[in-house]
Structure 1
Amino acid sequence: MDYAIDSIKVDLQTVGFDTTPELVDLVERELRRIMRFRKDVVAADFYFNEDGTNSENNKVARWRLGIPGKDLFAEARSSSWGGSLREAGEKLRRQFVD
């Protein structure tokens, strides 16, 4: 699913399940939170899948942030989509704040 948020190209892909409006809302809120720290974001790619090896923390979120220079990437695993997205967002934020 490709769309734009404030002129940022967003690519949202889910593997093995359909994208829900709740997931799109989570992605938009987390991206807007990250945009408070970094104003030069041009693209954001989100990949969600469920890992069957661990039934407790099986929600995996991968996030690539397109910025001038080298892109940033983070991956996180949690028991919920919101938790894994937030953790991956924190990993990205630390990459350009620290």
Structure 2
Amino acid sequence: MNYTENYKGIKIDVQAPQVDLPDGVQAQIRKAIDKLSRFTNSINAIDLYFNISGTGKTAERILGMRVGVPGPDVFSEERGKDRWNTMLRAVTDKNIRQLQKDK
């Protein structure tokens, strides 16, 4: 599942090769953007990458998020066996901490 959309003037690019994302993930992505927007109003783009590495019991989910802002972009990644929504909240919180440091 790959898609691009414009949400509140922010370009969202989601790459999820070989991953079927649950229906609620798009809504969670919008909530994450709303949360990030409270800490900076200069977000140009959000790039998300969902992937699964390995198979069977060794499968690991990987979620990366790049927040495009003026100056250096912020990026975080989460790896593990958690649900996508849990991992999305974790990378959002990591990016918020980076945005707060840059202020």
- Return the offset for 1:20: 4.1
Q: CA-atom RMSD, angstroms? A: 2.0
Q: In structure 1, how many angstroms separate the alpha carbons of the residues matched to 2:54 and 2:90?
A: 20
Q: Please report the TM-score for the alignment, with normalisation by the length of structure 1.
A: 0.87
Structure 1 pair 57/27, CA: closer, same or farther in 2 (3 Å)? farther
The one of 58, 78, 83 equivalent to 1:80 is 83
TM-score by length of 2: 0.84
Structure 2 stretches of 5 or more lacking a match? none
Matched to 2:45, the amino acid is A
Q: One-letter code of the match for 1:93?
A: I
Report the Cα distance in structure 2 between the residues aligned to 1:57 and 1:86, rounded to whole angstroms. Answer: 20
Matched residues, number: 98
- Per-residue CA distance 1:53-94 (angstroms, 9 max, x = gap): 784882211000000011111001241101111111111111
Write the deviation string for residues 13-64 of structure 1: whole angstroms up to 9, x where unpaired: 1021234431111111111111111111010000001122784882211000
Using the aligned pairs only, state the percent identity: 29
